[in-house]
Chain A
Amino acid sequence: METEQVAKPVKFSKPHRFRFVSKTVSSAPLAVFRVAFGLMIFVSIVRFWSKGWIETLYIQPLYYFPFYGFEFVKPLGGYTYVIFAVCGFSALLVALGLFYRVAIVGVFLSFTYIELIDKSTYLNHYYFVSVISFLLIFLPAHAYFSVDAYRSKRLLADKMPQWCLDSVRFFVCILYFYAGLAKVNTDWLVNAMPLKIWLPAHNDLPIIGFLFNYTWVPFVFSWVGCLYDLSIPFLLWNRRTRVAGYVAVVVFHSLTALLFPIGMFPYIMIVTALIFFSGEFYQRIIAFVSPKVSLPTEFIYPRSTYKLSSITQQLLIGVFTLFFAFQLLMPFRYLLYPGELFWTEQGYRFSWRVMLMEKAGYTQFMVKDRTGKQLIVNNNQFLTPLQEKMMATQPDMILQYAHILQDYYSKHGFISPQVYVDSYVALNGRLGRPLIAPTTDLANVSDSFQHKSWIIPFNDEIKGF
């Protein structure tokens, strides 16, 4: 809970439950976050574009793996560049705080659309960006230090309801805490897997590389990583430990950036954690900067509070309550499925499970029909290397691919083709074994949220969350 902000006197005495809702807080942290977040998205888009990934990930593939229920999201061919341009441009507008509401809706829709095209590119931090931009749609992040506020005195406010800021903070806390909770399992803590595999790959780094030859080092990294994720929400929330917490954030994410190919994620998190700093902290920076760039005093100290009408406010509180209930429950949906989560991946995505598995697989598909025709599929003919790699370890993608093959071969000389897969998957240092029942005709199976009974059960147990 914020301690540095004194609650404004409330005009009407409200019932107890509205006390939190009526507290106000400086607009500065959310405004700074808006600027930083917009710039990070913009940089991400530029980086993605300049690496040629739009072409290789969204234009070159012949087939895509849409998410269940989102099959209507289709790749747009050459127009994919347009949607990236829209996203990048909107992100810049968000940073500037110009036409903010339209811009943030633009970021949310374009970014989410891109991420829904193909499961093989799923990353937790993309989901994070989508969810944060969804939250920001409803928040007055443009009420302060924005072009919109500069142009509209009515909008300009250096205070806003506290829940507006705290909802973003709370969401970031969920992310860290759940990521930590997911590490409380026997593979991570008892076997130091998968870090035991990943760290020795960096034993040639200058200065710290030699450490990765010691068998105890992955254990230290695993335990520290787990404790870090679990404790960071509290360290950042508490004023007394905030600076230490932020230093930990910078150290931890810089280290992961150095060791693992995770792109923008560490930097986005380092920037995101800034939202925990207090209004006073930012006010001091602004007070220092604004005379130098000669911003009018009334723009910096408008002495007004952003107000929502009570109906809007109650509506939003309702939406946010549902949203957070969803966020808190969604990662636990795996409990509804039998079998080992890491093996079946039923309920694995959208749950802040990061860096938990070294999983590699190999699949060979056989297509046959009742006339006795049969062939072994060359996966390269249909999938990109990334798609093949992702598909090989994830049952729902294996099924989608089987249906791609079914469609293709029913148009290419096979009469109601049957599709079988010979799969082999290794998880966290265990010797590989078949993932999918080789006798199941996957052409005959349709995807659903039901348990996939054609996954061969895992022959080991990973205890924990």
Chain B
Amino acid sequence: MIKSNWLQMIVVCLLAGIIWACSGKGSNSDPDPDKGTTDRKAVLINLADNSIIPAYANYKVKQDAMLIKSQAFLSKPDITTLTAFRQAWVDAYTEWQKVELFDIGPANKTAIVNYYNIYPTSVAGINEYIADPTVNLEVTASYDKQGFPALDYLLNGVGTTDAEILAFYTSSANGTKRLAYIKRITDHMDALLTKVINDWKSTYREEFTTKTGLDIGSPMGQLVNGYVLHYERFLRSGKFGIPSGAMLNGVVSAEKVEGFYKKDISKQLAQTAHQAAVDFFNGKNAVTGASGPSFKTYLDGLGAKDSATRKTLSEIINAQFEVVNQKINVLKPSIYEEVKTNNAAVVQVYTEMQKAVRLLKVDMTAAMSIVITYTDNDGD
């Protein structure tokens, strides 16, 4: 946005006066709630107060539970505490899928997604880090050695049986160091989440809901960009495109699935994450499930529709989301297994997600007039 100056202010006032004078009472244009809203402030407030902030609160409950179970495991590693920790990890990992998509503001600033969920995790790297407890966990190189994927390896992958896994922490000379590493990475998760939640509460909510412009760096612009990027990179590519080989050279890489060591949760994680993206698009309240002002109502308010079929863009997008959901639903609980035995089904999810990416990245951003650029253009 060009900075206003006096000349512009005068022009604006003049023009407003003229148009206001010509516009009569404008009574024929009362906003119709069924038609959606062009009020971005309402959208941002609903998304902040009813979607994002409560979703983080929900997630924090699960992560805190996981931290308690991990404490129990650290102080007394046995089959009971291991099983409880593992279950709490599954619950937290699943709930995490509902907040991972908010890659905006505090989450973007702390790069929490990168510290929480970069997979495949580096086994060699984790072993190095276990050996050196002073290593810095706040650098790019450390992304794939911590977070949920690292815990996946440490809880499910260090042995083939539970007895072997427990032995990794109890009977070896390095057992205490390994337990200490679990403590380090869970503490780091705790610190990051605390920071993100506090930032939202202290200053960012205010900024998010008051800066209603659409220029580069505006909350709405970042939110839409972050949402689309997450759908494309973390849902489409990460969960389906890369493991199935649909992305690169047709090389199937089943070992690159999310939750590789636990195996049977990968579909549940993907389902949850996709549903979270759908719910966010529709502005669902994270507590009550009621819909509110959202990308959907904003698109409806703008009147975005396919001129050929007269279907609204939000209908078309939701229909495509539904197709993707159905394609995910038919998968086995372990996407690893599915890739190994029936990869075509996984590729199909990717293909349908790709169609959704186009709708979001091209049709939705164009309709919203959200620009992905950093320099002047004269609109042509």
Q: Which of chain A's residues 334-362 have a Cβ closer than 8 Å to chain B?
A: 348, 353-362
Q: Within the complex, what minimum Cβ distance (angstroms) separates B44 from chain A?
A: 11
Judged by DSSP, the binding face of B is loop
Residue A197 interfacial (CB < 8 Å): yes
In the assembled complex, B214 has its CB within 8 A of some CB on chain A: yes
Contacts of B307 in A (CB 8 A): 429-431, 460
Q: Is the CB of A201 within 8 A of B214?
A: yes
Quick check: which of A73-81, A101-109, A169-177, A202-210 contacts chain B, the rest being far away? A202-210
Interface residues of A in 429-464 (CB under 8 A from B): 429-432, 459-460
User: Is the beta-carbon distance between B316 and A207 smaller than 8 angstroms?
Assistant: no
B287 contacts the other chain (CB 8 A): no
A431 and B306 contact, CB distance less than 8 A: yes
CB proximity of A176 to chain B, nearest CB, Å = 15
A204 B213 Cβ-Cβ under 8 A: yes
**Min CB distance, B84 to chain A, in Å?**
42
B41 lies within 8 A of chain A by Cβ:
yes
| Interface 1/0 per residue, B1-25 and A, CB below 8 Å | 1101001100111111001100100
Contacts of B373 in A (CB 8 A): 385-386, 389
With a CB–CB cut-off of 8 A, which chain B residues contact A207?
12-13, 16
| B324-368 at interface with A (beta carbon < 8 Å) | 357-359, 361-363, 365-368
**Chain A contacts for B40, CB-based, 8 A:** 203-204
Please tell me which stretch of A252-260, A325-333, A398-406 contacts chain B, meaning at least 4 of its Cβ atoms lie within 8 angstroms of it.
A252-260
Contact (Cβ within 8 A) A356 B379 = yes
Does A251 contact B308, Cβ atoms closer than 8 Å? no
Q: Does the CB pair B379–A357 fall under 8 Å?
A: yes
Q: Are B11 and A425 in contact, with the CB atoms below 8 A?
A: no
Contact B376 A123 (CB under 8 A): yes
Is A6's beta carbon under 8 Å from chain B?
no
Residues in A with CB closer than 8 Å to B377 are 123, 261-262
Residues of chain B within 8 A of A124, CB atoms compared: 378, 380
A431: chain B residues within 8 A (beta carbon): 306-308, 313, 316, 363
**Are A56 and B304 in contact, CB atoms less than 8 angstroms apart?**
no
Interface flag for B68 (CB, 8 Å): no
How far is B38's CA from A196's CA once the two chains are assembled, in angstroms?
12
Of B111-119, B137-145, B243-251, B260-268, the segment with at least 4 beta carbons within 8 Å of chain A is B243-251
Would you call B162 an interface residue if the criterion is a C-beta within 8 Å of the partner chain's C-beta atoms?
A: no
| Chain A CB within 8 A of B302 CB | yes
In the complex where A201-B214, A425-B362, A430-B306 touch, is A213 in contact with B29 (Cβ < 8 A)?
A: yes
Contacts of B302 in A (CB 8 A): 197, 200
CB distance from B316 to the nearest CB of A (A): 7
Set of chain B residues within 8 Å of A203, measured between Cβ atoms:
38-40
Q: Flag if A358 contacts B366 (CB, 8 Å).
A: yes
A309 CB to nearest chain B CB (Å): 41
Q: Digit string of A351-388 for contact with B (CB within 8 Å is 1, else 0)?
A: 00111111111100000000001111000000001100
- Please tell me if the beta carbons of B380 and A251 are within 8 angstroms of each other in the complex: no
Nearest CB in chain B to that of A351: its residue: B380
A360 near B365: Cβ-Cβ < 8 Å: yes
- Cβ-defined contact, B11 with A250, below 8 A: yes
- The answer to whether B358 touches A432 (Cβ under 8 A) is yes
Does B120 interact with chain A (Cβ within 8 Å)? no
A125 within 8 A of B: yes
Chain B residues with Cβ below 8 Å from A425 are 362
Interface flag for B33 (CB, 8 Å): no
* A355 contacts across to B, CB distance below 8 A: 378-380
- Complex Cα gap A254–B2 (Å): 10
B residues in contact with A424, CB < 8 Å: 358, 362
Assuming the A-B contacts A348-B380, A431-B313, are A208 and B303 also in contact, with contact meaning beta carbons closer than 8 angstroms in the complex? Answer: no
Q: How far is the CA of A460 from the CA of B373 in the complex (A)?
A: 28
Q: For residue B39, which residues in chain A have a CB less than 8 angstroms away from its CB? A: 203
Provide the bound-state CA to CA distance between A360 and B13, in Å: 33
Q: Mark A188-231, 1 if CB is under 8 A from B, else 0.
A: 00000010111011111111100111111100100000000000
Contacting residues, chain B, for A194 (C-beta < 8 A):
379
Known: A258-B4, A386-B375, A432-B362. A197 touches B380 (CB 8 A): no
Could you write out 14 A-B pairs with CB less than 8 Å apart? Answer: A125-B378, A203-B39, A204-B213, A208-B19, A254-B7, A258-B11, A260-B379, A261-B215, A261-B377, A264-B376, A359-B366, A362-B357, A385-B374, A386-B374
Known: A257-B2, A263-B2, A360-B366. 4 other contacts (CB 8 A): A213-B29, A258-B8, A430-B306, A432-B359
Counting from the closest, the 9 A-B pairs by CB-CB distance are: A263-B376, A355-B379, A201-B369, A360-B366, A431-B306, A204-B212, A254-B11, A208-B16, A201-B214
Chain B contact residues, CB within 8 Å of chain A: 1-2, 4, 7-8, 11-16, 19-20, 23, 26, 29, 31, 38-41, 212-215, 247-250, 302-304, 306-308, 313, 316, 357-359, 361-363, 365-380
Listed in ascending order, the chain A residues whose CB lies under 8 Å from chain B are 53, 56-57, 121, 123-125, 194, 196-198, 200-208, 211-217, 220, 250-251, 254-255, 257-258, 260-265, 348, 353-362, 373-376, 385-386, 389, 424-426, 429-432, 459-460
